Homo-oligomer: A and B are copies of this chain.
Amino acid sequence: MNAKNTSDIQKSMQIDADDEATSTESQFDRATEALRTLVLRGTFPLDVKLPEAKVADMLGVSRTPTRLAMAALERDGLLVRLPRRGFRVRSFSLDEVIEAIEVRGELEAVAVRVTAERKLSAVFRERMKACIVEAEAILKAKHFDAHERRAWCAMNDEFHTALVEACGMRPLAFAYRQVKLVPLAGPRDTIFNVAEPELLRRQLATAHEDHGRILRALLDGHATRAAALVREHAYRSGENKRRNFPHIEMQTMVMETPGVALVRLPGVEPEE
């Protein structure tokens, strides 16, 4: 049964990402990521109890690593623990998502201010430049198909991650990672409003311009300007999220943008 379990999980992991160097990974690690993916994709009903035996079964591991995984996701804020009754999946309001993006922007702003006041190291400069080049390539495409969308998300995440890591403040990076755990709040969670192609293109183009300006401000050592640009960039991102979120074609987007499934439509409140 052990063999079967392992293959089950590995299969489910292969669906979404990297399965390299699994030798150091424990069942717990795999179970955590597998469960995270399931939760973010909306596999479970929101705000109702999530029986741990069912999850263990689904993941194909025993209850021990499952419990570990659920505890981990609780600390990520995705699950809520009910004292003696297990866990439930937490839902998020769109407002909360946007607040998270605002906080994320503030942290990024601190990072760029600090970086600009010192000096941007060559490594990070190159990482960010590469992102900008990549973005230009993506924007040249006629349509934003799944491939382009995926590339954009990866590029955006990389740019913002570099932005934060460049300042070298461990506690800042730590907090940043936490804030990104709110569904849809990370730079990877772009919502592509395919219903309005010209709006979509404008949004992406603006973001691309922002990136360029931010990098230049960094290189010029304009700390305050860079911070302001980053704040505005985040604000725009929040606006876009509010605008684009209701227009999602669920079927496509739920698979493509993990976390969409956890966000309630405006006005809808959780029962309890």
B-binding residues in A (CB < 8 A) = 24, 26, 64, 67-68, 71-72, 75, 77, 83-84, 96, 99-100, 102-103, 106-107, 110, 169-172, 174-175, 178-179, 182, 185
Contact = CB atoms under 8 A, between A and B. Distances in A.
B84 A24 contact: yes
Nearest to A168: B99
Given A103-B107, A107-B103, A170 B24 contact: no
A264 to B, nearest CB: 14
B171 A182 contact: yes
Task: Report the copy number of this chain in the oligomer.
Answer: 2
A175 to B, nearest CB: 5
Contact of A83 (B24, B75, B171): B24
Nearest to A109: B106
Nearest to A114: B102
B110 A103 contact: yes
Contacts of A107: 103, 106, 175
13 contacts: A64-B64, A67-B68, A71-B72, A96-B171, A99-B170, A100-B171, A102-B110, A103-B110, A106-B107, A171-B185, A174-B179, A174-B182, A175-B178
Contacts of A64: 64
Contacts of A106: 106-107, 110
Nearest to A32: B71
A99 B169 contact: yes
Chain B CB within 10 Å, residue with most, of A71, A75, A103: A103
A171 B175 CA distance: 11
Contacts of A174: 77, 178-179, 182
